[in-house]
Structure 1
Amino acid sequence: MTSNAILDAAPELSTSAYVVMGVATCFRRTEDDLESIKVLEPIPSAYLESLFQGIPTAYEVIMAATLEQVQNDTFREQANLVDVHLCENYRDRLIAAARTYQGRTAAQSLIPLNTQRTDLNYSIEKKRTLNVKNIVKAEDNVRQHSHTHKKL
């Protein structure tokens, strides 16, 4: 994907737009087990601020870059992210994240451009499973008390 593809979809952004990318440990359900995979995804400014408050996160490393750098085909090679998968809806999420930093320029001071941070509260205790199918059953319904909808 080239920078032009991003800029065509979001003309208000420039190639120098700031964005933070993160490498998260996620899990994919196989027939009998969970398989660990690394996923590269953009991080919105609000979540970045909460990361620095010490909340547990699946992100191992986060890095600040420009849209031009991220869309360059060599970005993942230069950042040693060759075995890392791109997140679902990558382009749309990248545009959305870049827009959040335009609105909150103070968030850009948390991690300077072209730097990486690994001092996060990394935890996979709560596993992020990517291919979960939520099947709702009749037993999942909560029975309401008989007086719930009556005027007493």
Structure 2
Amino acid sequence: MAMSQEVPPPEAYVVLGLAHCFVQVEGKLQPVEIIEPIPSAALEALLHGLPTSYSEAHALTYGTAQDPQQARQQFPPHAHLCDDYGDRLAAAARTYIARPQSTRHIPLGATYRNFNTSTERKRVLNSERIVTAADNVKQHAYTHQVL
């Protein structure tokens, strides 16, 4: 079943989470809190107790969440909206339309705070992966030979 790229209706259900992330500034990690939409499959996995950077989640209508001022009222004032917030919000809302049974976990207007929050594996938002020759897997000399 293909997901459409249509704009969800204003009354569509969506969940916004508060993620505890980090940004690298001059070689040091600085904590930052990010408000981001949580798709239905991710929410269901997190509710099974997987470690996560999320500390709380709020169930809102898509129409409410589209207004950054209204969306931010649910969260600490220093929290930032994620990159591509509008696109990710619409995509997350479509996942709840496709899986309406996921909307029963957090009632509309409610907050969930019982996540297994952990920053042991830090989510670094601006990290760059630099691949070097040392990252290559060493192979035996005869790997590509016919024996």
Q: TM-score, normalised by structure 2?
A: 0.90
- Quote the residue 2:58 is aligned against: 63
Aligned partner (choices 67, 70, 75) of residue 70 of structure 2: 75
- 1: CA distance between counterparts of 2:8 and 2:106? 20
- Quote the residue 2:88 is aligned against: 93
Please, which runs of 5 or more residues in structure 1 have no aligned partner? 1-9
Structure 1 residues 3-152: aligned runs within 5 Å: 10-152=5-147
Q: Which amino acid aligns with 1:86?
A: L
Q: Which amino acid aligns with 1:28?
A: V
Moved more, 81-90 or 47-56: 81-90
- 2: CA distance between counterparts of 1:53 and 1:11? 30
Give the drift of 1:138. Answer: 1.4
Answer yes or no: is the 8 Å Cα contact 1:76–1:82 preserved in 2: no
Q: How many residues align?
A: 143
1:127 partner SS: coil
| Structure 1 outlier segments of 4+, above 2 Å | 145-152
Please, which runs of 5 or more residues in structure 2 have no aligned partner? none
Give the drift of 1:12. Answer: 4.5
Answer yes or no: is the 8 Å Cα contact 1:23–1:41 preserved in 2: yes
Q: How big is each residue's C-alpha offset from its partner over 1:38-89, in whole Å with a ceiling of 9 and x where there is no partner?
A: 0000001111001110011110110110111112243245314321111111
Q: Which has the higher strand share?
A: 2
Answer yes or no: is the 8 Å Cα contact 1:56–1:123 preserved in 2: yes
- 2: CA distance between counterparts of 1:26 and 1:82? 16
- 1: CA distance between counterparts of 2:11 and 2:117? 29
Q: Output the aligned Cα RMSD.
A: 1.5
- Quote the residue 1:6 is aligned against: none
1:131 partner SS: coil
